[in-house]
Protein backbone atom coordinates (compact mmCIF):
# COMPACT_ATOMS: atom_id res chain seq x y z
CA UNK A 1 0.00 0.00 0.00
CA UNK A 2 2.81 2.42 -1.08
CA UNK A 3 4.49 2.02 2.28
CA UNK A 4 1.83 4.07 4.11
CA UNK A 5 0.70 2.72 7.46
CA UNK A 6 -2.88 1.39 7.60
CA UNK A 7 -4.34 -0.03 10.77
CA UNK A 8 -7.53 -2.09 10.92
CA UNK A 9 -8.97 -2.19 14.41
CA UNK A 10 -11.37 -4.94 15.35
CA UNK A 11 -13.07 -4.79 18.73
CA UNK A 12 -14.78 -7.95 19.85
CA UNK A 13 -17.56 -7.67 22.42
CA UNK A 14 -18.94 -10.78 24.06
CA UNK A 15 -22.72 -10.94 24.10
CA UNK A 16 -24.72 -12.99 26.59
CA UNK A 17 -28.13 -12.75 24.96
CA UNK A 18 -29.75 -14.89 27.64
CA UNK A 19 -29.16 -12.03 30.10
CA UNK A 20 -29.93 -8.64 28.47
CA UNK A 21 -28.29 -6.73 31.32
CA UNK A 22 -24.93 -8.25 30.37
CA UNK A 23 -25.07 -7.25 26.69
CA UNK A 24 -22.92 -4.25 25.89
CA UNK A 25 -25.79 -1.91 25.04
CA UNK A 26 -28.01 -3.09 27.89
CA UNK A 27 -25.43 -2.23 30.54
CA UNK A 28 -26.08 1.41 29.61
CA UNK A 29 -29.87 1.23 29.65
CA UNK A 30 -31.72 4.28 30.95
CA UNK A 31 -35.30 4.06 32.16
CA UNK A 32 -37.98 6.65 32.84
CA UNK A 33 -41.72 6.56 33.52
CA UNK A 34 -44.05 9.25 32.18
CA UNK A 35 -47.77 10.06 32.24
CA UNK A 36 -49.97 11.26 29.41
CA UNK A 37 -52.22 14.28 29.86
CA UNK A 38 -55.27 13.43 31.99
CA UNK A 39 -58.54 12.23 30.49
CA UNK A 40 -61.89 11.70 32.20
CA UNK A 41 -64.48 8.94 31.80
CA UNK A 42 -67.96 8.28 33.16
CA UNK A 43 -69.70 4.88 32.93
CA UNK A 44 -70.18 3.98 29.26
CA UNK A 45 -67.91 6.75 27.98
CA UNK A 46 -65.43 6.27 25.14
CA UNK A 47 -62.24 8.26 24.67
CA UNK A 48 -60.19 7.95 21.49
CA UNK A 49 -57.80 10.90 21.42
CA UNK A 50 -54.26 11.86 20.53
CA UNK A 51 -51.75 13.40 22.91
CA UNK A 52 -48.27 14.79 22.45
CA UNK A 53 -45.84 12.67 24.44
CA UNK A 54 -42.84 13.41 26.57
CA UNK A 55 -39.97 11.41 25.15
CA UNK A 56 -36.23 11.06 25.82
CA UNK A 57 -34.17 13.59 23.85
CA UNK A 58 -31.33 12.99 21.43
CA UNK A 59 -30.34 10.18 19.08
CA UNK A 60 -31.22 7.05 21.06
CA UNK A 61 -32.10 3.40 20.64
CA UNK A 62 -35.37 2.40 22.31
CA UNK A 63 -35.21 -1.04 23.92
CA UNK A 64 -38.64 -1.20 25.52
CA UNK A 65 -41.94 0.68 25.71
CA UNK A 66 -44.61 -0.43 28.20
CA UNK A 67 -47.91 1.27 29.02
CA UNK A 68 -51.09 0.96 31.09
CA UNK A 69 -54.06 3.00 32.33
CA UNK A 70 -53.75 4.34 35.89
CA UNK A 71 -55.83 6.56 38.17
CA UNK A 72 -54.86 9.83 39.88
CA UNK A 73 -52.92 7.95 42.56
CA UNK A 74 -50.99 5.92 40.00
CA UNK A 75 -52.95 2.73 40.72
CA UNK A 76 -53.49 0.29 37.85
CA UNK A 77 -57.10 0.35 36.63
CA UNK A 78 -58.60 -3.10 35.90
CA UNK A 79 -59.91 -3.91 32.43
CA UNK A 80 -63.26 -4.79 34.00
CA UNK A 81 -63.70 -1.07 34.71
CA UNK A 82 -61.82 0.63 31.88
CA UNK A 83 -61.14 -1.50 28.83
CA UNK A 84 -58.03 -0.49 26.90
CA UNK A 85 -59.11 -1.16 23.33
CA UNK A 86 -55.71 -0.05 22.09
CA UNK A 87 -52.90 2.41 22.49
CA UNK A 88 -50.39 3.35 19.81
CA UNK A 89 -47.34 5.63 19.57
CA UNK A 90 -46.64 7.50 16.33
CA UNK A 91 -43.61 9.52 15.25
CA UNK A 92 -43.73 12.75 13.26
CA UNK A 93 -41.15 15.17 11.90
CA UNK A 94 -42.18 18.83 12.13
CA UNK A 95 -40.78 21.94 10.45
CA UNK A 96 -42.72 24.71 12.16
CA UNK A 97 -41.19 27.50 10.06
CA UNK A 98 -42.82 26.06 6.94
CA UNK A 99 -45.71 24.24 8.65
CA UNK A 100 -44.49 20.98 7.15
CA UNK A 101 -45.07 17.58 8.70
CA UNK A 102 -43.66 14.19 7.77
CA UNK A 103 -44.74 10.83 9.18
CA UNK A 104 -41.86 9.06 10.88
CA UNK A 105 -43.56 5.70 10.59
CA UNK A 106 -42.46 2.10 10.68
CA UNK A 107 -41.32 0.13 7.64
CA UNK A 108 -44.87 -0.79 6.58
CA UNK A 109 -46.53 -2.57 4.94
CA UNK A 110 -50.04 -1.06 5.06
CA UNK A 111 -51.18 1.94 3.03
CA UNK A 112 -49.78 5.34 3.99
CA UNK A 113 -50.42 6.40 7.62
CA UNK A 114 -52.33 3.17 8.38
CA UNK A 115 -50.79 1.14 11.23
CA UNK A 116 -47.67 3.31 11.03
CA UNK A 117 -47.01 3.17 14.79
CA UNK A 118 -43.77 1.93 16.34
CA UNK A 119 -45.41 0.62 19.52
CA UNK A 120 -48.99 -0.26 20.37
CA UNK A 121 -51.02 -2.91 22.17
CA UNK A 122 -54.40 -3.23 23.88
CA UNK A 123 -55.83 -5.11 26.82
CA UNK A 124 -52.77 -7.41 26.72
CA UNK A 125 -50.35 -4.60 27.52
CA UNK A 126 -49.51 -5.48 31.14
CA UNK A 127 -48.30 -9.00 30.44
CA UNK A 128 -46.71 -8.48 27.02
CA UNK A 129 -43.03 -7.65 26.78
CA UNK A 130 -41.92 -5.14 24.15
CA UNK A 131 -38.23 -5.63 24.98
CA UNK A 132 -35.87 -5.71 21.98
CA UNK A 133 -33.13 -8.22 22.89
CA UNK A 134 -29.36 -8.17 22.52
CA UNK A 135 -27.65 -5.10 21.11
CA UNK A 136 -30.63 -4.25 18.90
CA UNK A 137 -32.79 -1.17 19.42
CA UNK A 138 -35.30 1.01 17.56
CA UNK A 139 -33.43 4.12 16.47
CA UNK A 140 -35.15 7.47 17.01
CA UNK A 141 -34.18 11.10 17.57
CA UNK A 142 -32.32 11.61 14.29
CA UNK A 143 -34.76 13.64 12.16
CA UNK A 144 -33.99 15.12 8.72
CA UNK A 145 -32.11 18.40 8.81
CA UNK A 146 -34.37 21.31 9.74
CA UNK A 147 -37.06 19.12 11.33
CA UNK A 148 -37.95 18.35 14.92
CA UNK A 149 -39.21 14.98 16.09
CA UNK A 150 -42.63 14.78 17.75
CA UNK A 151 -44.21 11.75 19.40
CA UNK A 152 -47.98 11.29 19.60
CA UNK A 153 -49.98 8.80 21.69
CA UNK A 154 -53.42 7.51 20.70
CA UNK A 155 -55.48 6.08 23.57
CA UNK A 156 -58.77 4.28 22.88
CA UNK A 157 -60.43 3.39 26.19
CA UNK A 158 -63.99 2.36 27.13
CA UNK A 159 -65.46 2.76 30.62
CA UNK A 160 -67.55 -0.39 31.07
CA UNK A 161 -68.70 0.21 34.66
CA UNK A 162 -72.42 -0.56 34.91
CA UNK A 163 -72.83 -1.22 31.21
CA UNK A 164 -75.73 -3.35 30.03
CA UNK A 165 -73.52 -5.70 27.99
CA UNK A 166 -69.79 -5.26 28.81
CA UNK A 167 -68.66 -7.77 26.17
CA UNK A 168 -70.75 -6.03 23.55
CA UNK A 169 -69.23 -2.70 24.58
CA UNK A 170 -65.71 -4.10 24.15
CA UNK A 171 -66.59 -5.30 20.66
CA UNK A 172 -68.15 -1.92 19.84
CA UNK A 173 -71.56 -3.32 18.88
CA UNK A 174 -73.32 -0.47 17.10
CA UNK A 175 -76.71 -1.18 18.69
CA UNK A 176 -75.26 -0.66 22.18
CA UNK A 177 -73.79 2.69 21.16
CA UNK A 178 -76.92 3.83 19.30
CA UNK A 179 -74.69 4.77 16.37
CA UNK A 180 -75.73 4.81 12.70
CA UNK A 181 -73.00 7.07 11.27
CA UNK A 182 -69.21 7.17 11.32
CA UNK A 183 -67.32 9.94 13.11
CA UNK A 184 -67.16 11.70 9.72
CA UNK A 185 -70.97 11.78 9.57
CA UNK A 186 -71.11 9.28 6.73
CA UNK A 187 -73.57 6.40 7.18
CA UNK A 188 -72.22 3.04 8.29
CA UNK A 189 -71.82 0.55 5.49
CA UNK A 190 -74.66 -1.92 5.10
CA UNK A 191 -74.39 -4.91 7.42
CA UNK A 192 -71.82 -3.29 9.72
CA UNK A 193 -72.62 -4.65 13.20
CA UNK A 194 -69.72 -3.45 15.26
CA UNK A 195 -66.17 -2.14 15.33
CA UNK A 196 -64.26 1.07 15.87
CA UNK A 197 -66.63 2.95 13.53
CA UNK A 198 -69.24 2.66 16.30
CA UNK A 199 -67.12 3.40 19.40
CA UNK A 200 -65.32 6.58 18.45
CA UNK A 201 -64.47 9.43 20.78
CA UNK A 202 -67.52 10.85 22.55
CA UNK A 203 -69.84 7.90 22.00
CA UNK A 204 -71.37 6.06 24.95
CA UNK A 205 -72.17 2.40 25.51
CA UNK A 206 -75.54 1.58 27.06
CA UNK A 207 -75.53 1.67 30.88
CA UNK A 208 -77.99 -0.22 33.08
CA UNK A 209 -80.92 1.94 34.24
CA UNK A 210 -80.28 3.51 37.62
CA UNK A 211 -76.55 2.77 37.72
CA UNK A 212 -74.46 5.65 39.02
CA UNK A 213 -70.73 6.09 39.46
CA UNK A 214 -68.47 9.10 39.56
CA UNK A 215 -66.40 10.47 36.70
CA UNK A 216 -62.79 9.28 36.90
CA UNK A 217 -59.60 11.08 35.99
CA UNK A 218 -57.18 8.71 34.29
CA UNK A 219 -53.79 8.66 32.63
CA UNK A 220 -51.84 6.49 30.26
CA UNK A 221 -48.65 5.71 32.17
CA UNK A 222 -45.74 4.57 30.04
CA UNK A 223 -42.17 3.51 30.71
CA UNK A 224 -39.40 3.83 28.13
CA UNK A 225 -36.04 2.06 28.28
CA UNK A 226 -33.31 3.29 25.95
CA UNK A 227 -29.61 3.55 25.23
CA UNK A 228 -27.59 6.37 23.70
CA UNK A 229 -26.91 5.60 20.04
CA UNK A 230 -23.38 4.55 19.09
CA UNK A 231 -21.58 2.27 16.63
CA UNK A 232 -22.30 -0.86 18.64
CA UNK A 233 -26.08 -0.44 18.82
CA UNK A 234 -27.64 -2.48 16.03
CA UNK A 235 -30.55 -0.90 14.12
CA UNK A 236 -33.81 -2.63 13.26
CA UNK A 237 -36.83 -2.23 11.02
CA UNK A 238 -40.35 -2.50 12.43
CA UNK A 239 -43.11 -4.05 10.31
CA UNK A 240 -46.81 -4.45 11.06
CA UNK A 241 -48.69 -7.08 9.09
CA UNK A 242 -52.50 -6.93 9.10
CA UNK A 243 -54.38 -10.17 8.51
CA UNK A 244 -57.07 -8.18 6.64
CA UNK A 245 -54.63 -6.66 4.13
CA UNK A 246 -56.15 -6.94 0.63
CA UNK A 247 -52.66 -6.41 -0.87
CA UNK A 248 -54.17 -3.70 -3.07
CA UNK A 249 -53.37 0.00 -2.86
CA UNK A 250 -55.20 3.07 -4.18
CA UNK A 251 -53.48 6.48 -4.19
CA UNK A 252 -56.84 8.19 -3.70
CA UNK A 253 -58.82 5.84 -1.46
CA UNK A 254 -56.97 5.28 1.83
CA UNK A 255 -59.46 2.58 2.83
CA UNK A 256 -58.06 0.20 0.21
CA UNK A 257 -55.50 -2.14 1.73
CA UNK A 258 -55.37 -2.93 5.44
CA UNK A 259 -58.93 -2.97 6.79
CA UNK A 260 -57.66 -3.11 10.42
CA UNK A 261 -60.64 -5.09 11.76
CA UNK A 262 -62.95 -7.96 10.83
CA UNK A 263 -65.86 -9.99 12.21
CA UNK A 264 -65.92 -13.60 13.38
CA UNK A 265 -69.32 -15.22 12.68
CA UNK A 266 -70.74 -17.76 15.12
CA UNK A 267 -69.87 -21.30 14.08
CA UNK A 268 -72.11 -24.05 12.79
CA UNK A 269 -71.12 -27.00 15.02
CA UNK A 270 -72.28 -29.47 12.39
CA UNK A 271 -69.61 -28.29 9.94
CA UNK A 272 -67.08 -26.83 12.40
CA UNK A 273 -67.33 -28.86 15.62
CA UNK A 274 -64.23 -27.20 17.12
CA UNK A 275 -65.73 -23.75 16.49
CA UNK A 276 -62.41 -22.25 15.40
CA UNK A 277 -62.39 -19.41 12.88
CA UNK A 278 -59.17 -18.97 10.91
CA UNK A 279 -58.25 -16.13 8.59
CA UNK A 280 -55.12 -16.57 6.51
CA UNK A 281 -53.08 -14.17 4.41
CA UNK A 282 -49.82 -14.19 2.45
CA UNK A 283 -47.88 -10.93 2.70
CA UNK A 284 -44.48 -9.95 1.30
CA UNK A 285 -41.79 -8.36 3.47
CA UNK A 286 -39.95 -5.72 1.39
CA UNK A 287 -36.57 -6.08 3.11
CA UNK A 288 -35.70 -9.01 5.32
CA UNK A 289 -33.10 -9.59 7.98
CA UNK A 290 -32.47 -11.45 11.19
CA UNK A 291 -35.71 -12.17 13.09
CA UNK A 292 -35.33 -10.21 16.34
CA UNK A 293 -38.82 -9.90 17.87
CA UNK A 294 -42.42 -10.81 17.05
CA UNK A 295 -45.80 -10.45 18.77
CA UNK A 296 -49.46 -10.47 17.76
CA UNK A 297 -52.30 -8.15 18.73
CA UNK A 298 -55.77 -9.69 19.02
CA UNK A 299 -59.02 -9.18 20.94
CA UNK A 300 -61.28 -11.29 23.17
CA UNK A 301 -61.91 -14.78 21.82
CA UNK A 302 -58.41 -14.86 20.31
CA UNK A 303 -56.47 -18.09 19.94
CA UNK A 304 -53.28 -16.64 18.47
CA UNK A 305 -51.47 -15.75 15.26
CA UNK A 306 -48.92 -17.99 13.57
CA UNK A 307 -46.33 -16.87 11.01
CA UNK A 308 -44.60 -19.22 8.54
CA UNK A 309 -41.96 -18.55 5.92
CA UNK A 310 -42.47 -19.03 2.20
CA UNK A 311 -40.91 -22.49 2.43
CA UNK A 312 -43.28 -23.51 5.22
CA UNK A 313 -40.82 -23.14 8.12
CA UNK A 314 -42.39 -22.04 11.38
CA UNK A 315 -41.25 -18.55 12.39
CA UNK A 316 -43.45 -17.61 15.34
CA UNK A 317 -46.68 -18.36 17.19
CA UNK A 318 -47.95 -15.58 19.42
CA UNK A 319 -50.58 -16.98 21.80
CA UNK A 320 -52.97 -15.06 24.08
CA UNK A 321 -52.82 -15.23 27.86
CA UNK A 322 -56.24 -15.10 29.53
CA UNK A 323 -56.71 -13.79 33.05
CA UNK A 324 -58.34 -15.86 35.78
CA UNK A 325 -58.65 -13.40 38.66
CA UNK A 326 -59.67 -9.83 39.44
CA UNK A 327 -56.38 -7.93 39.93
CA UNK A 328 -55.13 -5.64 37.15
CA UNK A 329 -53.14 -7.76 34.73
CA UNK A 330 -55.09 -10.91 35.58
CA UNK A 331 -58.71 -10.00 34.88
CA UNK A 332 -60.81 -13.13 34.31
CA UNK A 333 -61.93 -13.66 30.72
CA UNK A 334 -59.79 -10.88 29.25
CA UNK A 335 -56.76 -11.19 27.01
CA UNK A 336 -54.13 -9.90 29.45
CA UNK A 337 -50.98 -10.82 27.53
CA UNK A 338 -49.54 -12.22 24.31
CA UNK A 339 -46.53 -14.50 24.08
CA UNK A 340 -43.58 -13.12 22.12
CA UNK A 341 -40.92 -14.64 19.86
CA UNK A 342 -37.29 -13.58 20.37
CA UNK A 343 -35.01 -16.11 18.67
CA UNK A 344 -31.27 -15.90 19.23
CA UNK A 345 -30.18 -13.06 16.89
CA UNK A 346 -28.75 -14.50 13.69
CA UNK A 347 -30.40 -17.92 14.04
CA UNK A 348 -33.62 -17.13 12.13
CA UNK A 349 -33.47 -15.11 8.93
CA UNK A 350 -36.24 -13.78 6.71
CA UNK A 351 -35.30 -13.02 3.10
CA UNK A 352 -36.07 -9.77 1.34
CA UNK A 353 -39.19 -10.21 -0.78
CA UNK A 354 -40.18 -13.37 1.06
CA UNK A 355 -43.89 -14.17 1.11
CA UNK A 356 -44.94 -14.80 4.72
CA UNK A 357 -47.99 -16.84 5.60
CA UNK A 358 -49.99 -15.57 8.57
CA UNK A 359 -52.95 -17.29 10.19
CA UNK A 360 -55.17 -15.61 12.80
CA UNK A 361 -57.40 -17.85 14.92
CA UNK A 362 -60.43 -16.97 17.06
CA UNK A 363 -63.00 -19.02 18.89
CA UNK A 364 -66.27 -18.85 16.96
CA UNK A 365 -68.42 -20.40 19.67
CA UNK A 366 -70.10 -16.99 19.59
CA UNK A 367 -70.03 -14.07 17.19
CA UNK A 368 -67.31 -11.44 17.61
CA UNK A 369 -67.33 -8.01 15.95
CA UNK A 370 -64.48 -5.63 15.27
CA UNK A 371 -61.67 -8.05 16.14
CA UNK A 372 -58.10 -7.44 15.03
CA UNK A 373 -55.20 -9.55 13.83
CA UNK A 374 -51.90 -7.68 13.62
CA UNK A 375 -48.41 -9.06 13.77
CA UNK A 376 -45.51 -6.84 14.87
CA UNK A 377 -42.22 -8.02 13.38
CA UNK A 378 -38.80 -6.55 14.15
CA UNK A 379 -35.86 -7.55 11.93
CA UNK A 380 -32.20 -6.56 12.05
CA UNK A 381 -31.03 -3.80 9.73
CA UNK A 382 -27.24 -3.81 10.00
CA UNK A 383 -24.01 -4.98 8.35
CA UNK A 384 -22.37 -6.18 11.55
CA UNK A 385 -20.94 -9.69 11.35
CA UNK A 386 -22.39 -12.13 13.86
CA UNK A 387 -20.24 -15.01 15.08
CA UNK A 388 -22.21 -17.11 17.56
CA UNK A 389 -22.14 -15.27 20.85
CA UNK A 390 -19.74 -12.61 19.55
CA UNK A 391 -20.46 -9.31 17.89
CA UNK A 392 -17.68 -7.74 15.81
CA UNK A 393 -17.61 -3.97 15.41
CA UNK A 394 -15.14 -2.87 12.73
CA UNK A 395 -13.51 0.53 13.21
CA UNK A 396 -11.00 2.04 10.77
CA UNK A 397 -8.27 4.33 12.12
CA UNK A 398 -4.78 5.43 11.11
CA UNK A 399 -3.32 6.06 14.52
CA UNK A 400 -5.00 4.30 17.40
CA UNK A 401 -6.26 1.03 18.79
CA UNK A 402 -8.83 0.71 21.55
CA UNK A 403 -11.55 -1.62 22.81
CA UNK A 404 -15.11 -0.35 22.64
CA UNK A 405 -16.37 -0.16 26.20
Q: What is the pLDDT of residues 322-356, one digit of tens each?
A: 999 999 999 999 999 999 999 998 899 999 999 99
- Contact at 8 Å (CB) between 50 and 153? yes
pLDDT score, position 28: 85
The residue extents of the domains of the chain are 30-380
- Contact at 8 Å (CB) between 235 and 60? no
From first CA to last CA, the distance across the chain in angstroms is 31
Q: What would the pLDDT profile of 198-249 be if each residue is shown by its tens digit?
A: 999 999 999 999 999 999 999 999 999 999 999 889 999 999 999 999 999 9
pLDDT score, position 17: 37
Q: Compute CA distances 289 → 60, 111, 186, 340, whole Å.
A: 21, 22, 42, 18
- What is the rounded distance in angstroms from the CA atom of residue 227 to the CA atom of residue 230? 9
Q: Compute CA distances 171 → 23, 79, 146, 193, whole Å.
A: 42, 14, 43, 10
Looking at the DSSP assignment, which residues form a beta bridge with residue 293?
378
Chain-centroid distance, C-alpha 299:
13
3-state secondary structure of 160: coil
DSSP string, 332-361: BTSEEEE-EE-PPTTSSEE-TT-EEEEEEE
Phi, psi of 156 (to 5 degrees): -115, 105
% of the chain surpassing 90 pLDDT: 80
Report the candidate in 30, 37, 34 with the shortest Cα–Cα distance to residue 58.
Answer: 30
Buried b (16+ CB within 10 A) or exposed e, 257-287: bbbbbbbbeebeeeeeeeeebebebebebee
- What is the rounded distance in angstroms from the CA atom of residue 92 to the CA atom of residue 84? 24
Q: Compute CA distances 68 → 156, 168, 396, 400, whole Å.
A: 12, 22, 45, 48
pLDDT score, position 16: 35
- What is the rounded distance in angstroms from the CA atom of residue 98 to the CA atom of residue 100? 5
Q: Compute CA distances 228 → 28, 57, 202, 332, 342, whole Å.
A: 8, 10, 40, 40, 22
Q: What would the pLDDT profile of 67-110 be if each residue is shown by its tens digit?
A: 999 999 999 999 999 999 999 999 999 887 776 677 788 999 99
pLDDT score, position 99: 62
Report whether pLDDT(383) > 50. no
Amino acid sequence: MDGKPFVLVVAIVLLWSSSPAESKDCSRIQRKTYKSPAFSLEPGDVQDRYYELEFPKGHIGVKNFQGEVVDELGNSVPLSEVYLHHWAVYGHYMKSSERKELTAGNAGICQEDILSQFWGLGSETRQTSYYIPGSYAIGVGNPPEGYEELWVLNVHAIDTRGTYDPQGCLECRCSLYNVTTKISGQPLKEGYKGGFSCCYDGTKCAVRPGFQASKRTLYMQYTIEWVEWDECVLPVRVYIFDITDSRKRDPVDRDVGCNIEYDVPACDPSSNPDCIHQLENHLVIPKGGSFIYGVAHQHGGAMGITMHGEDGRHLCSSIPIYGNGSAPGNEAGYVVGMSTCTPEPGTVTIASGEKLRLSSSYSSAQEHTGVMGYFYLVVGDDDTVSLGEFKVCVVFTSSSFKFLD
